[in-house]
Structure 1
Amino acid sequence: MPTQDDVLGYFETLSNWGRWGEDDELGTLNHITDDVRLAAARAVRHGRSVSCAWEVAVPEDAERATTTCPCAAEMPGAEHMPDPFHHDRRWGYSSERIGLTFHGNTLTHVDSPCHLYWDGKMYNGRPHSLVDAATGSAWAAVTAAADGIVTRGVLLDVAKVRDVPWLEPGEGVFPADLEEAERRQGVRVRPGDAVLLRTGYGRARHESGPSGGFTQAGWHASCLPWLHEREVALIGADTPQDVQPSGYEAVLMPVHAVGLVAMGLWLLDNCDLEACAATAAELGQWDFQLAVAPVRFAGTSGSPVNPIATF
């Protein structure tokens, strides 16, 4: 079990600053080479595709839209707008204005490296002053991945390995769990892969709804050297990644902090991995082609996404 000093040391020992040049904004996505993408295409053996995202719900009422709901959709029809429903004509239309707060514990989204700073620095040593409240980030924003993230995905079902419906809030996942999942599932994580971690929280959320608070299962900080050594390009989970509490008073979210700032590791938060896990078990195939296409929001630290796994 790494000590707090060990974890703080990861900012140096696991750093990818300068590894792909001083002007690099892609971070670990550099592990996804043309050969890796071709290998990912060869992982499609059945032609079956499934979504790994939660549906974005329309708010039930205006109060909820402004308080707890991460998505607010508004149909046009105010007094200054034309009536979109022309009952006396053959033609009509519908349109929406949507506001999203995608960071948090609800919506499926990708975090780009500018999402977090440590000691005033972002990935590759850039100062946090490059982030402006009006124009967003001028460094390592989500638009760095404008060409999409297409690679081989590997689902590691740790809930299945532990023979439980889901991990309890506060339970961490360790390298030994990852390697046991590889052994049981007959798969091995390779350079350039995206690793999706199933804790089973998706099942609990389907059955009981989203949990409150910030206690959750997820990656333990001890997985960071493992991910670095395996040259993983992207990680995802059915929670917001970090086990909470992390066990480290000085680093509340070490997977986010070390991953984004030091490693340039892109994160897929809040995936719904239940359909993916069921399909993998049915087909006996735990690797697949994963496609993630962030919306090209200029200067943003992430984007809502709908990751697609194709078996």
Structure 2
Amino acid sequence: MCGPGIIDERTRNTIAAHAAKFREITMSPFGPDDEIGMLNLISPEKSREVMRAADGGAAIDLSVDYFIGMPSWTKAGDPGFQQWMTHTPVGTVLDDITGVGTEQNELVAYSGDAMSMYTHCGTHIDTLNHFGYHGKIFNGYEAAQCISSRHWIKCGADKFPPIITRGVLFDIAGLHGVDVLPENYGIGAKDLADALARQQVEFRPGDVALVRTGRMQYWPDTDRYINNAPGLNREGAEFLAEAGAAVIGADNLALEQSPSPDAENWQVVHTYLLAEAGVPIMEVVDCETLAGEGLYEFAFIGACMKVRGATGAPMRPLAMPLLP
């Protein structure tokens, strides 16, 4: 069978998208204390099953490297990636900041560095507190009650467990026979269903969905990669969320088509997936090797930095072929 798998009533009741109402916060089917949404669909047995079949000797890195000047969302004033040396072999000799003297500093060549960035820089995951409606986020948590002087105290990146599950690539650029989808192309339900049919793959609840637009071919040209990007529209997001996606990712900067087709909402897909459907989002995922090898289903492994309360965090996801 190709397409979304058949969902029984019990599973359907655990998928928040089936209870979602337009532009309203959805309460979690996993209870009032839930902070990870549809990641709950990944059962320990599902993780064990996929790991039993994973070919660890052929892992594919789905992340990009971090460097000064890399494409990043800075239009709202957020900082781009920065990196600088805090210690160098020559500087340590001159400064003797270690206090051990010239002889030891000349013997031990010490280097160290630091970095700063927006938490939504590079390959990363968006947590459920990233976007909401009217001051509330998924499961009814209110900003007025759940943000400290430093960060959210609910639904932060520190709450996300390692993600080990089955992954499915939706190669939409390949479906249309192009290297890169046209600017601002909105990926809808038909595109996604047709991709599954073409690829002869079934999508199941608890899977990670990765959507390929081809935009990664423009990386690291900032203007070509970021501006007027093709991506999911709300219909496409609903298709994946209702099919039980645990996480939805893409190879572009912001998952959804840009600019927004909705004059009233500049982040249509983000608000739907995070606030209504409880589905975390991954962005800047390199899908080129998967598409090039025709690897449409695979073991997915990913873990984000445990940044307390963060609205997003860098991660280094891996895909592994599934053995017969």
Question: TM-score, length-normalised on structure 1?
Answer: 0.84
Contact 2:21 2:276 in 1 (8 A): no
Give the stretch that moved more between structures: 70-79 or 136-145.
Answer: 70-79
Given the superposition, is the C-alpha separation of residues 81 and 181 from structure 1 closer, same or farther in structure 2, using an over 3 Å criterion?
A: farther
Contact 2:231 2:255 in 1 (8 A): yes
Contact 1:221 1:246 in 2 (8 A): no
Query: 2: CA distance between counterparts of 1:210 and 1:86?
Result: 50
Given the superposition, is the C-alpha separation of residues 81 and 272 from structure 1 closer, same or farther in structure 2, using an over 3 Å criterion?
A: farther
1:225-240 matches, cutoff 5 A: 225-239=238-252, 240=254
Query: 2: CA distance between counterparts of 1:188 and 1:205?
Result: 30
| Amino acid aligned to 1:123 | F
Query: 1: CA distance between counterparts of 2:218 and 2:125?
Result: 22
Give the stretch that moved more between structures: 182-191 or 70-79.
Answer: 70-79
Deviation (angstroms), 1:209: 5.1
Given the superposition, is the C-alpha separation of residues 209 and 252 from structure 1 closer, same or farther in structure 2, using an over 3 Å criterion?
A: closer
Tell me the alpha carbon deviations over residues 223-267 of structure 1, each in whole angstroms, 9 at most, x when there is no partner: 233123211100000111111123111122111001111221101
| Amino acid aligned to 1:22 | P
1:253-272 matches, cutoff 5 A: 253-272=267-286
**Alignment correspondent of 1:26:** 36
Deviation (angstroms), 1:115: 0.8
Computed over aligned residues only, the root mean square deviation of the Cα atoms, in angstroms, reads 2.8
> Is 1:306 paired with 2:294?
no
**Alignment correspondent of 2:216:** 202
- State the identity as a percent: 25
**Alignment correspondent of 2:6:** none
Query: 2: CA distance between counterparts of 1:251 and 1:51?
Result: 34
Find 1:222's aligned residue among 232, 235, 240.
Answer: 235
Give the stretch that moved more between structures: 124-133 or 156-165.
Answer: 124-133
**Alignment correspondent of 2:296:** 286
Contact 2:249 2:281 in 1 (8 A): yes
| Amino acid aligned to 1:217 | P
1:113-262 matches, cutoff 5 A: 113-132=128-147, 134-145=149-160, 147-205=161-219, 208=221, 210-211=223-224, 214-239=227-252, 240-262=254-276
Query: What number of residue pairs does the alignment pair up?
Result: 289
Query: 2: CA distance between counterparts of 1:51 and 1:290?
Result: 10
| Amino acid aligned to 1:202 | M
Deviation (angstroms), 1:169: 1.7
Contact 2:26 2:275 in 1 (8 A): no
| Amino acid aligned to 1:234 | V
Structure 1 ranges of 4+ moved more than 6 A: 78-81, 83-88
Given the superposition, is the C-alpha separation of residues 16 and 117 from structure 1 closer, same or farther in structure 2, using an over 3 Å criterion?
A: closer
**Alignment correspondent of 1:91:** 108
Given the superposition, is the C-alpha separation of residues 75 and 191 from structure 1 closer, same or farther in structure 2, using an over 3 Å criterion?
A: same
Deviation (angstroms), 1:213: 5.8
Given the superposition, is the C-alpha separation of residues 202 and 31 from structure 1 closer, same or farther in structure 2, using an over 3 Å criterion?
A: same
For structure 2, the residue ranges without an aligned partner over 5 or more in a row are: 1-19, 71-76
